[in-house]
Amino acid sequence: MRSEIAFASLALFAMTAPGTASAQAETLQAGAGQAGVGQAGVDYAGFVELAGELGEYRQSRLLGWEEWDRQSRLHGAIILDTRSAAAFAQGHIRGAVNLPFSDFTEDKLAQIIADRQRPVFIYCNNNFADDEPPVPLKRLELALNIPTFINLYGYGYRNIAELGEVVALDDVDWVSPELRAQ
């Protein structure tokens, strides 16, 4: 019953949303009749395939701090901070816009980055040597830059630049509550 309700909801969404929604709904319907637990709206194999395709491209989009900072300040560029809202409130690179990774949807990304060709500059905790709040070090293979890059690309954003260097907070134009109070 739940899979039928989920499919009906997706079918309704597919009638109102452009592009891939109908294909997603068909994929979910095909899995709904299988024995066992109903299929979630997840395509792990597709994610792995996309991630595998991006290795070389992502490598070409890594920038050292000075170049990343210079380019991120150019007209039309956006610095996207995908850490939690709480971490962002504790501090962020000046000019950054916060959209937590867990809130990524096609609509929310379009609200923040209307033009898919707009230069998008990303960074995460692991770009900072300080290893203290608000940028505690994460496990290297789980650094937020990786899924952020993959998801932005998957949503159609191609002009992504990732900070590919470790820097100290003292070396960047960092905004924190202490600085705002002064």
- Residues 71-106: tens digit of each pLDDT: 999 999 999 999 999 999 999 999 999 999 999 999
The answer to whether 31 and 42 have CB atoms below 8 angstroms apart is no
pLDDT digits (tens, 9 = 90+) for 112-168: 999 999 999 999 999 999 999 899 999 988 999 999 999 999 999 999 999 999 999
Q: What is the pLDDT, as a whole number, of residue 5?
A: 33
Six token digits for residue 31:
């899995």
Domains of the chain and any CATH numbers: 2-32 (no CATH), 44-181 (3.40.250.10)
Three-class SS state of 93: strand
Q: Are 145 and 124 in contact (CB under 8 A)?
A: yes
Tell me what the mean pLDDT of segment 1-23 comes to. Answer: 35
Question: What three-state secondary structure class fits 134?
Answer: coil
Q: In what order do the strands lie in the sheet with 160-163?
A: 62-63, 160-163, 120-123, 78-81, 97-98
The pLDDT of 21-40, averaged and rounded, is 51
Rg (CA), the chain: 19
Residue 81 CB neighbours (<10 A): 24
Return the bridge partners of 63, or none: 163
Residues whose CB falls within 8 Å of the CB of residue 141, separated by 6 or more in sequence, listed in order:
none
Q: pTM here?
A: 0.77
pLDDT at 148: 97
